[in-house]
Amino acid sequence: MEEYAVLWEKFMQEEEGEIRQILRRFLLMCRGLRHSDTIELSQQHYFQITDPKTKKVYHYLAKPAQKSNKIGIVPLLRTDVEYLLEWQPNGRLFADQDYGSFYKKFKQISLDLIGREITSHYGRHFAGNFIVNADEMEGLQDVQKILGVSSDRIAEVYAQRDILKVLQKFEAAVANIKSNS
């Protein structure tokens, strides 16, 4: 969470430029998108829905994931809409940028800001971990809906950023197999 906050703060401090655009893309990826899913994001993927009881407006992106073709729901906060949704003249959310260039530059930005290199894929794990640990969310079902994955196993992988927990689960599973044989 602290890493996300540092990146968001840097984004808010940056004037228009390449670093701001790279951080903007990554901060949206922390809602569960892969880099490949951001390439063709356009205004047609942006939706608003109003709660009829409270009249509160909710914002989201909905787009088939390039890898699974399953529609992922990307929840957006009001601040996301205000600061992260900067539409290009062609209607797309981002200017063209190949993955290699983005990846290399983002790794350097993360190294400079948080003292270690993180990849763009960290955003999916951040989203999964955040969703599964938020009291208001329904765990793996919400991870599946937001990340656009179909299996519980994959949703659990994204929800686990803590390697210790993964290792503990694996050891317990192996012990269970040994005790049943």
Contact residues for 153 (Cβ-Cβ < 8 A; gap 6+): none
Domains of the chain: 2-180 (1.10.443.10)
pLDDT tens by residue, 96-114: 888 889 999 999 999 999 9
Measured CA to CA, the distance from residue 152 to residue 173 in angstroms comes to 16
pTM for the model stands at 0.75
Judge contact between 105 and 34, C-beta under 8 A.
Answer: no
pLDDT tens by residue, 59-92: 999 888 777 777 777 888 888 899 999 999 999 9
